[in-house]
């Protein structure tokens, strides 16, 4: 169950190697994301989340902008913390939706994931 972003970019290479060695690779990801897309290298299982791509992109861009703003250190730190907190809330929401998706959880249990 990858995290969309830099972690995923590194994992793609590993998944390709696992597939080349005969492993069946299953990737579980939210329907909305930046980088995790279907591939011939793995089976992809998605689950719905109550977010739109634009909402996630907006929060991420705001966090990046805040991270590079100038100004008093404490002000920048507090704004960066708030941006990171919002991104964390989106991640928690995605995890909650995954765990409440009975059909997907049953598939994972049945396949000994």
pTM reported for the whole predicted model: 0.75
Whether residue 83 contacts residue 89, with contact meaning beta carbons closer than 8 Å, is answered with no
Divide the 113 residues of the chain into consecutive groups of 10 and give the mean pLDDT of each group.
72 90 92 87 91 86 86 90 88 90 94 85
Enumerate the domain spans of the chain: 6-111
What pLDDT, on the 0 to 100 scale, is given for residue 19? Answer: 92
Per-residue pLDDT, 50: 87
Distance of CA 15 to the CA centre of its chain: 16
pLDDT in the model for residue 41: 85
């Amino acid at each position: 169950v990858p995290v969309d972003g830099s972690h995923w970019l590194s994992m793609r290479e590993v998944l390709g190697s696992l597939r080349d060695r005969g492993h069946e690779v299953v990737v579980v990801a939210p329907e909305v994301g930046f980088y995790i897309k279907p591939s011939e290298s793995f089976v992809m299982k998605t689950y719905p989340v109550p977010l739109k791509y634009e909402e996630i992109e907006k929060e991420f861009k705001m966090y990046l902008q805040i991270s590079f703003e100038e100004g008093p250190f404490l002000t920048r730190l507090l704004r960066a913390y708030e941006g990171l907190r919002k991104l964390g809330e989106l991640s928690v929401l995605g995890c909650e939706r995954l765990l409440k998706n009975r059909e997907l959880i049953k598939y994972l249990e049945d396949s000994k994931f």
